[in-house]
């Protein structure tokens, strides 16, 4: 999301997600504490300006966790590491092909 993008109110988002207002409020507080969003009294909550290096770090950490979850799933399915690696390579090739990218 671009800097300055307005976010829904806590009540509106809780309604959209069918979850507790308290849950959304805690999530907003957490994001504000991490300086990803900012709240302006009387105006609303907005996406904050995050430094490019920090964005890269968050992206790397998010991707790492997604890969870790996939690898853990492969072990629960009792797949060997080589099969997991081949599956990853096949997924990467499929996504690149769908996007029209080449390696």
List strand residue ranges (DSSP E) for the chain, in order: 6-7, 37-40, 44-47
For residues 1 and 46, what is the distance between their CA atoms, to the nearest angstrom? 10
Number of domains in the chain: 2
Q: pTM of the prediction?
A: 0.56
- For residue 75, what pLDDT is reported? 94
If asked whether residues 15 and 36 sit together in one domain, one would say yes
pLDDT in tens, 9-64: 999 999 999 999 999 999 999 999 988 999 999 999 999 988 888 889 988 998 99
One domain, residues 11 and 42: yes
User: How far apart (Å, rounded) are the C-alpha atoms in residues 94 and 79?
Assistant: 21
- Do both 58 and 41 map to the same domain? no
Quickly state the pLDDT bin for 2 (edges 50, 70, 90): confident
Instruction: Report the CATH number at residue 16.
Output: 1.10.10.10
Together in a domain, 57 and 84:
yes
Within 10 angstroms of residue 37's Cβ, the number of other Cβ atoms is 20
Domain residues for the domain of 12 are 6-47
**Residue 41 domain flag:** yes
Asked if residue 1 is part of any domain, the answer here is no
């Amino acid at each position: 999301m671009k800097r300055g993008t307005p976010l829904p109110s806590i009540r509106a988002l809780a309604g959209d997600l069918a979850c507790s207002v308290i849950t959304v409020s805690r999530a907003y507080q957490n994001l504000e504490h991490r300086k990803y969003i900012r709240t302006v009294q009387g105006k609303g909550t907005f996406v904050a300006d995050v430094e490019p290096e920090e964005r890269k770090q968050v992206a790397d950490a998010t991707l790492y966790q997604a890969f870790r979850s996939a690898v853990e799933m492969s072990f629960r399915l009792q797949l060997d590491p080589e099969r997991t690696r081949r599956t990853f390579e096949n997924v990467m090739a499929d996504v690149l092909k769908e996007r029209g990218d080449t390696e």
